[in-house]
Amino acid sequence: MLSHKLEKRMANWQKNNLMRQRHIIGNRHYGDNIIHTAGKAHLNFASNDYLGLIQHPAINAAMIAGIKQYGIGSGSSAMVTGYFNEHDSIEREFAQWLGFDKTILFSSGYCANLGVMTALLNRDDTVISDKLCHASLLDGIQLSRAKHYRYQHNDVMHLQKIAAKVKPDMIVSESIFSMQGDIAPIADLMSIAERYQAGLVIDDAHGVGILGCDGRGASEHQSKLLCMVMPLGKAFNAMGAIVAGNGKIIESILQFSRSYRYSTALPPALCCALRATLKIIQEETWRLQALNDNIAFFNTEALVRKLPLVSTDKTPIRAIIIGDSQKTVWLQEQLIKQGICVAAIRAPTVQQNSTRLRISLNSLHTQAEIVYLLDKIFEYFL
């Protein structure tokens, strides 16, 4: 019976230290990195709020004003009556900021990747993706029924070898890989895509707001991208996702994406908050500079302690390989006892033998906080 199969699966999951647990988080305050859980305060090194925008007064004010004007929800799909002036405005403002013809706002990054892959690919197409692409991209490709090949992570030579054999219609990669913290060789990917007249799609979830000119992410390559997917739950500290491309591509996604058509549109009040966030990211440039300073400081201090970083690329995602699920969970628990919150990443998110602590830096972390974190990891890691 199904229930017995599930019980067996759960028992195996628990035996291999793969059980996940939700932690109830209390109030959050602007300008610090403290979260409260189980009645205790912890330094937060697990959030994707890279630019420290949690509880920003201007964003909160925009959201409240939007709720007063529009209410809580949108009421329906964007294709029915759920598309308001605020949706149109945020799409136009993102297009202008990024330098693309048009953009379209999805309800989540997962829906965006499902929608893009299924709208632009079908069973007659061939797609090649990086081995470590996000699950949403892989699920979207599978749903599209396109022929799918995967190249070794960031291995341009392997991609070239596969492309020469299969002549792809599309190449897919992330800009910053969420579990590695390393950066894709986008210029090389563009070169191969051009050689085989393939469209290049970049998931810029962890890059937008962080990489490129003034945080515009992969959009600095906009003239050579088929489209760019930007989930807004990281540096923008919101929800939803912007997909940017030329007019024909965005219109195709609008017409053929089931995950767009059949999802309730995001609340217009959230779009008000997103517009405020976009303005802050453009004006408060000190946030990106402070983040980059923290990344450089972390890398230097981690190397001094000879901690095995997955990557020293200049990104806010820092991962330290532990290699064993039980030890990874134990390390996380010890850090929690010391008032530090980090993520313990295990299978199936990463391979069984590459479990890791995943640390997320932001612009508000102090050097003293970073040193405290690294000292405690070094203490328990030994």
134 noted as active-site residue: yes
Residue 16 is predicted with a pLDDT of 84
**Shared domain check, 299 and 257:** no
pLDDT tens-digit readout, 131-157: 999 999 999 999 999 999 999 999 999
**78 pLDDT higher than 80:** yes
178 noted as active-site residue: yes
Residue 18 is predicted with a pLDDT of 85
206 noted as active-site residue: yes
**Shared domain check, 331 and 254:** no
pTM: predicted TM-score of the whole model, two decimal places: 0.94
Give 175's DSSP letter: S
Check if the beta carbon of residue 273 is closer than 8 Å to that of residue 62.
yes
**Shared domain check, 223 and 110:** yes
Residue 249 is predicted with a pLDDT of 97
Gap between the Cα atoms of 10 and 49, Å rounded? 32
Residue 365 is predicted with a pLDDT of 97
SS3 of 51-102: CCCCCCHHHHHHHHHHHHHHCCCCCCECCCCCCCHHHHHHHHHHHHHHCCCE
**Shared domain check, 251 and 147:** yes
Q: Is residue 4 part of a domain?
A: no
- Catalytic residue among 174, 182, 204, 369, which? 174
Q: Is residue 32 part of a domain?
A: yes
Average pLDDT over residues 214-237: 93
- Catalytic residue among 56, 87, 134, 376, which? 134
**28 pLDDT higher than 90:** no
| Total structural domains within the chain | 2
pLDDT tens-digit readout, 355-368: 999 999 999 999 99
Residue 382 is predicted with a pLDDT of 63
**Shared domain check, 243 and 111:** yes
CATH of residue 303:
3.90.1150.10
**Shared domain check, 224 and 344:** no
Helix, strand, coil % in the chain, rounded to nearest 5 = 45, 15, 35
- Catalytic residue among 86, 125, 203, 369, which? 203
pLDDT tens-digit readout, 206-219: 999 999 888 999 98
Q: Is residue 231 part of a domain?
A: yes
**Shared domain check, 133 and 163:** yes
Q: How confident is the model at residue 381 (pLDDT cuts 50, 70, 90)?
A: confident
**Shared domain check, 64 and 45:** no
Q: Is residue 6 part of a domain?
A: no
Q: What percent of the chain has pLDDT over 70?
A: 100
- Catalytic residue among 17, 48, 89, 311, which? 48
Q: Which of 233, 267, 283 is the last residue of a domain?
A: 283
203 noted as active-site residue: yes
Q: Is residue 264 part of a domain?
A: yes
**24 pLDDT higher than 90:** no
Average pLDDT over residues 243-267: 97
311 noted as active-site residue: no
Q: Which of 221, 254, 283 is the last residue of a domain?
A: 283
Residue 79 is predicted with a pLDDT of 96
Q: Is residue 291 part of a domain?
A: yes
Q: Which of 239, 254, 283 is the last residue of a domain?
A: 283
Average pLDDT over residues 167-188: 97
Least confident of 79-93, 298-312, 339-353, 356-370: 339-353
**Shared domain check, 86 and 42:** no
Gap between the Cα atoms of 242 and 116, Å rounded? 11
List the beta bridge partners of residue 148: 127
Check if the beta carbon of residue 369 is closer than 8 Å to that of residue 327.
no
- Catalytic residue among 42, 56, 102, 206, which? 206
Q: Is residue 11 part of a domain?
A: no
Domain range for 333 is 25-55+285-381
- Catalytic residue among 47, 178, 259, 294, which? 178
Strands 227-231 and 199-203: parallel
**Shared domain check, 329 and 215:** no
**32 pLDDT higher than 90:** no
**Cα four-point dihedral sign 306, 312, 314, 319:** negative
Mean pLDDT (the chain, rounded): 95
Dihedrals phi, psi of 196, to nearest 5 degrees: -105, 10
CATH of residue 239:
3.40.640.10
Q: Is residue 2 part of a domain?
A: no
Taking each helix axis from N to C terminus, what angle separates 268-283 and 57-70, rounded to the nearest 10 degrees?
160
**Shared domain check, 299 and 279:** no
**Shared domain check, 351 and 362:** yes
Average pLDDT over residues 268-275: 98
